[in-house]
Amino acid sequence: MSRILYQGENQITNPYKKKTHEAVDVVKKWNQQDAIIAHSSGTVVMIQKGMKHAPGSTGNKSYGNFIKIKHKDGYYTLYAHLRDVYVKKGDYVKRGQKIGYMGDTGNAYGVHLHFELRKPNEERINPEPYLDRDLPGEAGKKYYQAYDNYKKYWLPNVAIGSQDYAGNYNNPIGGIYADALEMRVHDLNKHCWLPWVKDRNDYAGNLGNNIDGVQIKNATYRVHLRHGSWLPWVYKVDNTNEGYAGIYGKEIDAIQIK
């Protein structure tokens, strides 16, 4: 399995070399083409579209169509020479989500993916050790975030265990993402518990619908009620009143996880 190709295995056709090629070039094994997936979850911070095959071009043109994603702790991944781009600037993409299709736009010698990994200061480091692993900034740190149903976007990540909380008081939340945790939420509009989700494979919630209950396995958590206050910390998951955070019928506008 590859973390950058939709199907099949990576075959590196041109490795990282400091100063001359600060990226790896990858094709699907046996020189085949494939869709490109996001290596890790993050926000699309830059795209370039409408470019053609342009041997000898320089600067951003040499990348052809490309996507740049900002990840947790500020690391970036960049996917260049794409034939198609499926995302827009500002999109939050999940790990494994299809974001484009391999091509030969820009200064490409043939159809392949030019994949870069950049530190928060934009220094390009060798992506090869991370092709099938978490990015360097991600190991050991776990975060969660909430979706603001009024502003209609995902609020910033908050570290699990920190004093901070996820949410904006008075704005109901419609979804929660959390690293490593298994959780589900109760949909206030549909009056039912939504499916359990785990890690960042999916979020808990129906964006746009308000939440009036939260359950998180193996965590200590509490919620804040809109026009109300913080409810007591919850330490377990079951179908008693102490086994979830929230009050049915009351909108939740913030969550805190320890």
Positions touching Zn ion (CB under 5 A) are 23, 25, 114
What's the min distance (Å) between Cβ of 8 and Zn ion?
19
The residue type found at 74 is: G
- The sheet carrying 84-85 orders its strands as 35-37, 98-101, 84-85
Concatenated DSSP letters of 216-256: ETTS-EEEEETTS-BPPPB---SSSTTSSBS-TTS-EEEEE
Token couple for 71: 């990840």
Task: Classify residue 88 as exposed, middle or buried by CB count within 10 Å of its CB (0-12, 13-18, 19+).
Answer: exposed
What's the min distance (Å) between Cβ of 78 and Zn ion?
10
Token couple for 89: 């600037």
Other CB atoms within 10 A of residue 70 CB = 16
- Report the Cα 27 to chain-centroid distance in Å: 23
Rounded Cα distance between 28 and 80, Å, is: 15
Q: Among residues 70 and 124, whose Cβ is nearest to Zn ion? A: 124
What's the min distance (Å) between Cβ of 134 and Zn ion?
23
What's the min distance (Å) between Cβ of 87 and Zn ion?
21
What's the min distance (Å) between Cβ of 62 and Zn ion?
9
Rounded Cα distance between 69 and 47, Å, is: 9
What's the min distance (Å) between Cβ of 135 and Zn ion?
19
Rounded Cα distance between 99 and 79, Å, is: 9
Q: Among residues 17 and 141, whose Cβ is nearest to Zn ion? A: 17
- Report the Cα 69 to chain-centroid distance in Å: 9
Q: Tell me which residue has its CB nearest to Zn ion.
A: 114
Q: Among residues 103 and 174, whose Cβ is nearest to Zn ion? A: 103
Q: Among residues 23 and 135, whose Cβ is nearest to Zn ion? A: 23
Q: Among residues 27 and 160, whose Cβ is nearest to Zn ion? A: 27
Q: Among residues 71 and 112, whose Cβ is nearest to Zn ion? A: 112
